[in-house]
Structure 1
């Protein structure tokens, strides 16, 4: 491959990555975060307001989901401050559970950027 071909390929990859357009307001997107290995749904409710539903898959994974939520809120709001409203899905923490855990709902939140 020549230098020009490599440069052109690199530029096309960068352009493709940077041209991701968010879904229109009200449309629910199913997404996946590869770093935290989290499946989630994102809906843009209005300018600077998002609904996130982090899919609950197991008890041990909940800590990763919470970290994802904070990092993703920061990413959505860029460098500004934000508020996270939690509607459901916060799990209790027992060091030594004695009985099987009940089904936990998805972590349902709303992010408001300031």
Structure 2
């Protein structure tokens, strides 16, 4: 009886940690711990994704840009991909002379070739 109880514990832990991807067209909110980036991802088809990186200030734009390139590569499992930027590209001035306006989230579409 005791051996069967010990076997059930790891199975229960594995079941609790399982992840089910949302259906096509449903947006999910995610966080990348390495780059410290919040983003939304929507699978549009088997080879196409919409990824929206949440704007986190002018200082973090470089990290967000690097994240989207790495994430696109991961989504396409290292294969060739096309990255289409829809909106959210920020100007880069080291010392701006005017106040920076509000920038939208970095919205992209990733298509795996």
> Shared topology, TM-score over 0.5?
yes
How many angstroms apart in 2 are the aligned matches of 1:50 and 1:72? 11
Residue 38 (structure 1) aligns with: 37
Name the larger-Rg structure.
2
How many angstroms apart in 1 are the aligned matches of 2:107 and 2:54? 9
SS in 1 for 2:61: helix
Evaluate the alpha carbon distance shift between residue 71 and residue 99 of structure 1 in structure 2; reply closer, same or farther with a 3 A threshold: same
Equivalenced residue count is: 106
SS in 2 for 1:100: coil
How many angstroms apart in 1 are the aligned matches of 2:13 and 2:68? 28
Q: Please, which runs of 5 or more residues in structure 2 have no aligned partner?
A: 1-5
* CA offset digits 1:49-105 (Å, max 9, x no partner): 000000001001000000100110011100211000000000001121112100000
SS in 1 for 2:34: coil
Q: Please, which runs of 5 or more residues in structure 1 have no aligned partner?
A: none
How many angstroms apart in 2 are the aligned matches of 1:89 and 1:13? 40
TM-score normalized by structure 2?
A: 0.84
- Supply the RMSD in Å over aligned alpha carbons: 1.8
How many angstroms apart in 2 are the aligned matches of 1:63 and 1:40? 15
TM-score normalized by structure 1?
A: 0.83
